[in-house]
Chains A and B, each alone.
Chain A
Amino acid sequence: MSERVDADALAGPPSGVKAHPLLRRRYLLPFALVLPIILYEGLLIVYPIVQGIFGSFTRIELASSAATTWVGWDNYERMFSDPAFWKVIRVTLLFTGLVIVVALTVGLLTALLFNRPFRFRPFARGMLMMPWAIPEVPVVMIFIWILSPQFGVVNILARMLPGVTKNPQWLQVPELAMGWMVLISSWKAFPFYSLVILAALQAIPQELYESARVDGANRLQLFWNITFPGIGSTLELLVVLAAIFSFKQFTIIFLMTGGGPSGTTETIVIRIFNTAFRFYDYSYATALGVAGFVVSLAVALVFIMMQVRRAEDSA
């Protein structure tokens, strides 16, 4: 992060008018530039959040034009005493945790593999990026078809397992449905992590490997003592990013299971949607939204603290 133009230094030769320094035109320029952005994001992101926090303490009636009534902590008391809420939290943690592990492991392994020189590597890397570039809705369409209990191609593999004589109802069995949500979300997400890890791998100086090899280090030692420390901070960062991205995952789960069977894939974002737009319980959905907001803000703060630490380290 290098400063390009110092607004103050660029203020030019002082003019005859003795204006307050803060009011000098050039000093105001950055603020004038970002003001529209802050207003825009403020109106469409921050204001709805504030509205949501306010709304979670009220009873919202959208159908009738009745004024919203203040209900205090009612929605929150209901939330914390609702066993369904704690189930949603468990499902969210399970899904998020599994996607982090699966997507990052696959991302790391493919990055290590694709970092080795071989012919057609650019082509292979292009293919690696495919799942990431395909929009979520077509991804859902592909997997609905692949998992079709009648004709789905995945059943060919399943039938090879001992004891499987008929095609499973992939999205009707809780464990299988959750497994597929994790696999599909990871399939969609891992190329991004792989690409970031590849960039980190390529930043490791080759001389380190050469001198270690001269000293007789084997491959495992090379990995643990050079590769792993070299990409360690990138991996840390990616764990947090993966947590944020998988916590946000909506479209794949919503379109494939809608949270079912019987709530076993209902993460908090799905629950919020269902509460509002299936059961029309806007106030309670808003309270759930505030709970989700607190969690994602906490994770975002971890990410930011890591960023700040990195900036300090490199300074």
Chain B
Amino acid sequence: MVAKLEDSSTAAAKIDARRLFNTALLYLTVAVVSLIIVFPVYWMMISTFQPSKYILRFPPPLLPQELYFAQFAELFSEHPIAKWLRNSFLIAVMTMLLCMALSVLGAFALSNLRWPGRNLFGLFLLVTQMLPEVLILIPLYILYRRLNMLNSIPSLALIDAAFILPICIWILKGVFDNVPPEVLDASVVDGCTELGALWRIVLPLSAPGLAAVAVVAFFFAWNEYLYAGIMLSSGEFMPASVGLSTLKAIAQTPVEQYMAAGLVFSVLPVLFYLVMQKYIVSGLTAGAVKG
């Protein structure tokens, strides 16, 4: 439905007026819809960047009254948020490295090689990706307890990587599918092994896809709450997703600090997700819909 009205040589003023009205309506709708969608984010900003004396009244003013930046320093000095972020970062990096290594192997087998069982492998990955995480929380918790693997950052990264790996493989498969087969054939004829072709030809051509996998794996672990809360119950290893959920607005934490914490935690994922959205969408729909 493209609003491209036919240009007619008998363009009467009536048509012009109608077009103007339609355009105005379109912009108005876009503005209203965008406002509704973005309002909660706007409200987070407003509540972060002004002193809470303005916002702790009803009705609160809808526009900022005064800019204020000391809340970030207060947040970091009054809460162990630096430690939380460091823990989140460590979990995320480990998950990312593990996922990148394994998804390259899986995607190459799924995309560039033909073998019996290939479709079955793809389905296996699809199913593991679709199960609610909480379903295997209890058996996994019992297993980790018996193996003494609770309260350890690498143990949590192992779980996070297991959950996000199937999506990473699907993302990378979509990227590997774009490598021209002739290039690959030629390299094999030239005496390259398949793994050599993967290393020298497929990977260099798939740099954006690898970046997408890194982003998806990193931020899955960064955002993850359920397993982090159960497996890392000791405060020392608490990641930011769990730490933030312990903050109580107004009662214990001033609102501007509370919202600043949410903002600090969201900046990285928002930036990277927006850049990589195309790849992430194709992975989440298992390549059924090209985003």
B105 contacts A8, CB within 8 Å? no
The listed residue with most A CB atoms (<10 A of its CB), out of B128, B134, B188, B273, is: B134
Chain A neighbourhood of B47, CB < 8 A: 145
Chain B neighbourhood of A1, CB < 8 A: 177
Chain B neighbourhood of A5, CB < 8 A: 112-114, 181, 184-185, 188, 194, 197
Closest to B31 in A: A124
Chain A neighbourhood of B113, CB < 8 A: 4-5, 7, 29-30, 33
A188 to B158, CA, bound (A): 27
Stretch at the interface among A70-78, A170-178, A291-299: A291-299
**What are 15 A-B pairs with beta-carbon distances under 8 A?**
A3-B114, A4-B112, A4-B114, A4-B181, A8-B114, A33-B108, A52-B135, A146-B43, A195-B291, A248-B132, A250-B225, A269-B134, A269-B135, A276-B137, A300-B127
Tell me if A140 counts as interface (CB < 8 A to partner B). yes
Tell me if B245 counts as interface (CB < 8 A to partner A). yes
Closest to B272 in A: A133
Given contacts A4-B184, A118-B30, contact A133 B58 (CB under 8 A): no
Chain A neighbourhood of B135, CB < 8 A: 49, 52, 269, 272, 289, 292-293, 296
Chain B neighbourhood of A138, CB < 8 A: 44, 244, 262-263, 265-266
Q: A-side binding surface: helix, strand, loop or mixed? A: helix
Q: How far is the CB of B199 from chain A (nearest CB, A)?
A: 13
Chain A neighbourhood of B269, CB < 8 A: 133-135
A127 contacts B142, CB within 8 Å? no
Given contacts A2-B177, A116-B3, A209-B2, contact A296 B131 (CB under 8 A): yes
Interface string of B99-118 (1 = CB under 8 A from A): 00010011011111111011
Query: For chains A and B in complex, what number of residue pairs have CB atoms within 8 angstroms?
Result: 319
A310 to B285, CA, bound (A): 13
Tell me if B34 counts as interface (CB < 8 A to partner A). yes
Chain B neighbourhood of A69, CB < 8 A: none
Q: How far is the CB of A17 from chain B (nearest CB, A)?
A: 18
Q: How far is the CB of A274 from chain B (nearest CB, A)?
A: 10
From A136, A153, A227, A251, give the contact of B1 (CB < 8 A): A227
Tell me if A143 counts as interface (CB < 8 A to partner B). yes
Q: Which residues of B contact A (CB under 8 A)?
A: 1-4, 6, 26-27, 29-30, 33-34, 37-38, 40-41, 43-44, 47, 55-60, 62, 102, 105-106, 108-115, 117-118, 121, 123-128, 130-143, 145, 158-159, 162-163, 165-166, 169, 176-177, 179, 181, 184-185, 188, 194-195, 197, 219, 222-223, 225-226, 230, 241, 244-245, 247, 249-250, 255, 258-259, 261-263, 265-266, 269-270, 273-274, 277, 281, 284-286, 288-291
Tell me if A45 counts as interface (CB < 8 A to partner B). yes
A36 contacts B105, CB within 8 Å? yes
Chain B neighbourhood of A102, CB < 8 A: none
Tell me if A261 counts as interface (CB < 8 A to partner B). no
Total contacting residues, chain A, CB less than 8 A:
114
A292 contacts B250, CB within 8 Å? no
A37 contacts B30, CB within 8 Å? no
Q: How far is the CB of B62 from chain A (nearest CB, A)?
A: 8
Given contacts A3-B114, A133-B269, contact A45 B136 (CB under 8 A): yes
Q: Given contacts A124-B30, A134-B41, could you give 7 more A-B pairs where the C-beta distance is less than 8 Å?
A: A133-B273, A141-B44, A141-B261, A142-B41, A145-B258, A151-B57, A247-B132
B115 contacts A130, CB within 8 Å? no
B265 contacts A116, CB within 8 Å? no
Chain A neighbourhood of B139, CB < 8 A: 47-49, 51-52, 55, 286
Q: How far is the CB of A238 from chain B (nearest CB, A)?
A: 8
Q: Which residues of A contact B (CB under 8 A)?
A: 1-8, 10, 26-27, 29-31, 33-34, 36-38, 40-41, 44-49, 51-52, 55, 60, 62, 110, 112-118, 124, 126-146, 148, 150-151, 153, 155-156, 159, 167, 187, 191-192, 195-196, 199-200, 206, 209, 213, 219, 222-223, 227, 234, 237, 241, 244, 247-248, 250-251, 254-255, 269, 272-273, 276-277, 282, 285-286, 289, 292-293, 296-297, 299-300, 303-304, 306-307, 310
A133 to B219, CA, bound (A): 10
Chain B neighbourhood of A223, CB < 8 A: 1
A41 contacts B105, CB within 8 Å? no
Given contacts A135-B223, A289-B134, contact A141 B126 (CB under 8 A): no
A52 to B185, CA, bound (A): 46
Chain A neighbourhood of B1, CB < 8 A: 112, 115-116, 209, 219, 222-223, 227
Chain A neighbourhood of B223, CB < 8 A: 135-137
A219 to B195, CA, bound (A): 54
A135 contacts B165, CB within 8 Å? no
Given contacts A213-B6, A219-B1, contact A237 B285 (CB under 8 A): yes
A135 contacts B138, CB within 8 Å? no
From A134, A195, A250, give the contact of B281 (CB < 8 A): A195
Chain B neighbourhood of A300, CB < 8 A: 126-127, 130-131
